[in-house]
Structure 1
Amino acid sequence: MTFPGIEAAARWGRRGTAGPAIAQSLGFDRVSHAYGKVRALDDVTLAIEPGEIVCLLGPSGCGKTTLLRIASGIEQPIAGRVLMDGREVAGPGGFVPPERRGIGLVFQDFALFPHLTNLANVMFGLKALPKAEAERVARLALDRVGLAAHAMDYPHALSGGEQQRVALARAVAPRPGILLMDEPFSGLDSRLRDLIREETLAVMRETRATCIVVTHDPEEAMRMADRIVLMRAGRIVQQGSAGDLYRRPIDLDAARFFSDINEVPGIVRGGKLVTPVGYFAAPGFAEGAVALAAIRPQAIFARPPGMCVPGRLIAKRFLGEVDFLEIAVDGLDQPLKARVRSAETLIEGRDIGVDVAASEVLVFAVPEA
């Protein structure tokens, strides 16, 4: 079976042909912003190195898109400064409008001009060049994203994935030093998203531009970013590599954001958190403190009954590569949720053993109500 959409998406131009840019640094110095009484950004400081790909990650309303709009010049902060290569472009020293910042933008809805051909859309940001040169550069950009044959078509004649590629070509054609992307893949079919994201990342690497990508999808951030910046309520709560944030989340909410977790309460005894499913290292916690073990579903293993912690399998669902299990354990109000391989022999309603990989367990203080 073939899928025409996937085949079309696969026909991108040859890798390595996107023109390189001169990457610029981007800095936010104690930036704040508000919409009426709603504080969208609260004293945000962030430095992004030339050529770095940074993903702003967080739930809706956390301030990530506002930060992107301030970087582009679409919004002006109420406090703080924005710097490009150390030069202030927003702040007490003045304000540089978007068209003079030399920044490439890819919006969530692509923002293509419907009355212009795809070629004209890409040429729109090349007005400083002579027309013939602008057309040559635009055609090269369309060729890199595999849409040279659609140069004279209009956006409405293209699929969503193809429109996204035109928007990308338009953004990179002027070779901006900074490229900003606001959830560029969220509107795409799930079958195409991975392929288009991979090819877009290849284009970003080829241009060598400094990139900020806004997303609410932690897997997308982990796949794309050199550094992830996790935001919450207008503030940066943690930043680092994908491995840093996944393995060492700063708090329970950060752990929840990166994956499903089982939250198992316990009491600290002798430096370990004692729970109904095992004992787990709890450094830094006082003796007798109440804490939570955050256990990811993939850290739970089903064993034969009589081994490990006793439990009962109350539900099993086939998910393809893994089976999703719900396991009742004495002392827990909620069943444990597990993702395991090779669960064909497990039968709902039967007793099983529950084994937890202690190295995969995170221990946190109980959140305040």
Structure 2
Amino acid sequence: MTTPNSSVAPWLLEVKNLSCGYGDVSVVKNVTFALGQGDIGCLLGPSGCGKSTMLRALAGFLPITEGEILLESTPISLPGRTMPPEKRRIGMVFQDYALFPHLTVANNVGFGLRHQPQADRRQKVGELLKLVHLQDLANQYPHELSGGQQQRVALARALAPEPTLILLDEPFSNLDADLRRRLSLDVRDILKTLGISAILVTHDQQEAFAMCDQVAVLKDGKIQQWDVPYNLYHEPANRFVAGFVGQGGFIPGIARGHDAIISELGVIEGNRAYTWPEGTLVDVLIRPDDIVHDPDSDLRPKVVEKTFAGTSTLYRFRVSEDTEFEALFRSHLDFHLGEHVPVRVEADHLIAFPRA
């Protein structure tokens, strides 16, 4: 796991050696990370990895058993002492939006401002509705809105009290794929415009990479790597991160020196040196974008699967019983099942691990 150098700037959010769970069951175990002002972080992982439990601890809904959570250098959670959620200046957008069905859009957004003077409240609500492009729907009710519009109302309501941090609990999971992509970018733009930090919980890698500056990959309640999306994809810290992030699969190989591997795809070289001895049995990660079509290549694996995706086609190739891999080609290159296609490996980032 990587954590930025804290000497660069004070952190907005610091999570130090955090452990928490339910009853005697520990779900989150010894987690440490930090988030800067204006940054968007993500808790990414498969179901049951502890990401929602961690979010509940950040929100103040769940006490912690070890470690501490600090917001603007102030402890908000310690073992035996938890600041109430309403005093944390943390906003939250839930998976089901949790809008009040009997209130209009404007009154939903202004709910957290009900103690302010009416004129101030009206002005703030108007500014937020304009920010989320719902100014023409102020007098509508939630049931009259689409899912994407309800999501925007929930975001505006969370932003209204001017929180220090926003927590997003899989806020796009009820939307179709196209709308998810558009809204995730819209929400990122809104948060960046306001300079508000956020933590997103999701199992969708594309969503995480599109929205977030830093991503934590979780497994079994522990952070496997906290890093920028580019490094998670190209420089994974361990085999789990390598297999979980992006597409791709492992093929067998044998180490030749510290920076090359002999495989059935030929000698694969990359950008990193390993410390294993010559001849070590390894598994090499091959991404679909590591393979290029090359009419002059002697390597001609057989097409065993193909998935057409409009602008591109994902192929699965077989070299032998032990070696299969995927390749993504533009769809104009139309190969058929059973066809032997000339390809070569062009892997700028060498990702390999000792044979399991």
TM-score, normalising length: structure 1: 0.87
1:355 equivalenced with 2:344 (yes/no): yes
The farther-off stretch of 358-367 and 221-230 is 358-367
- Which secondary structure does the structure 1 equivalent of 2:201 belong to? strand
Name the CA distance, whole Å, in 2 between partners of 1:345 and 1:178.
49
Q: Specify the code of the residue in structure 1 equivalent to 2:186.
A: E
Q: 305, 310, 326: which one pairs with 1:320?
A: 310
Task: Report the alpha carbon displacement of residue 270 of structure 1 after superposing the two structures with TM.
Answer: 3.5
Percent of matched pairs sharing the same residue: 38
1:101 equivalenced with 2:91 (yes/no): no
Q: Specify the code of the residue in structure 2 equivalent to 1:225.
A: C
Q: Specify the code of the residue in structure 2 equivalent to 1:317.
A: T
Q: Which residue of 1 aligns with 2:261?
A: 273
CA contact (8 A) 1:52 1:210 kept: yes
Task: Report the alpha carbon displacement of residue 147 of structure 1 after superposing the two structures with TM.
Answer: 1.4
Q: 280, 283, 295: which one pairs with 2:274?
A: 283
Q: Specify the code of the residue in structure 1 equivalent to 2:316.
A: E
Q: 309, 314, 318: which one pairs with 2:299?
A: 309
Task: Report the alpha carbon displacement of residue 334 of structure 1 after superposing the two structures with TM.
Answer: 5.2
- Which secondary structure does the structure 1 equivalent of 2:341 belong to? strand
CA offsets per residue over residues 184-243 of structure 1, 9 Å max, x none?
112112121222112111110122112111111222222111211222111111112111
* Number of residue-to-residue matches in the alignment: 343
Q: Which residue of 2 aligns with 1:38?
A: 25
Q: Specify the code of the residue in structure 2 equivalent to 1:364.
A: F
Q: 337, 342, 346: which one pairs with 2:335?
A: 346
CA 1:27–1:263: 2 relative to 1, 3 Å: same
Q: Specify the code of the residue in structure 2 equivalent to 1:95.
A: T
CA 1:344–1:90: 2 relative to 1, 3 Å: closer
CA contact (8 A) 1:31 1:79 kept: yes
CA contact (8 A) 1:175 1:207 kept: no
Name the CA distance, whole Å, in 2 between partners of 1:123 and 1:24.
30
Q: Which runs of 5+ in 1 are unaligned?
A: 1-22
Task: Report the alpha carbon displacement of residue 50 of structure 1 after superposing the two structures with TM.
Answer: 1.9
CA contact (8 A) 1:24 1:177 kept: no
Q: Which runs of 5+ in 2 are unaligned?
A: 1-9
Name the CA distance, whole Å, in 1 between partners of 2:139 and 2:347.
59
CA contact (8 A) 2:286 2:325 kept: no
CA 1:345–1:237: 2 relative to 1, 3 Å: closer
CA contact (8 A) 1:295 1:360 kept: no
CA contact (8 A) 2:310 2:331 kept: no
Q: 330, 333, 344: which one pairs with 2:322?
A: 333
- Which secondary structure does the structure 2 equivalent of 1:359 belong to? coil
- Which secondary structure does the structure 1 equivalent of 2:302 belong to? strand
Q: Which residue of 2 aligns with 1:16?
A: none
Q: Which residue of 2 aligns with 1:60?
A: 47
Name the CA distance, whole Å, in 2 between partners of 1:226 and 1:184.
18
Q: Which residue of 1 aligns with 2:3?
A: none
Name the CA distance, whole Å, in 2 between partners of 1:358 and 1:157.
51
Pairs within 5 Å for 1:70-89: 70-89=57-76
Task: Report the alpha carbon displacement of residue 98 of structure 1 after superposing the two structures with TM.
Answer: 0.7
CA contact (8 A) 1:24 1:210 kept: no
The farther-off stretch of 263-272 and 61-70 is 263-272
Name the CA distance, whole Å, in 1 between partners of 2:180 and 2:166.
20
Q: Which residue of 1 aligns with 2:195?
A: 208
TM-score, normalising length: structure 2: 0.90
1:249 equivalenced with 2:249 (yes/no): no
Task: Report the alpha carbon displacement of residue 247 of structure 1 after superposing the two structures with TM.
Answer: 0.9
Name the CA distance, whole Å, in 1 between partners of 2:193 and 2:304.
51
CA 1:99–1:270: 2 relative to 1, 3 Å: closer
CA 1:80–1:292: 2 relative to 1, 3 Å: same
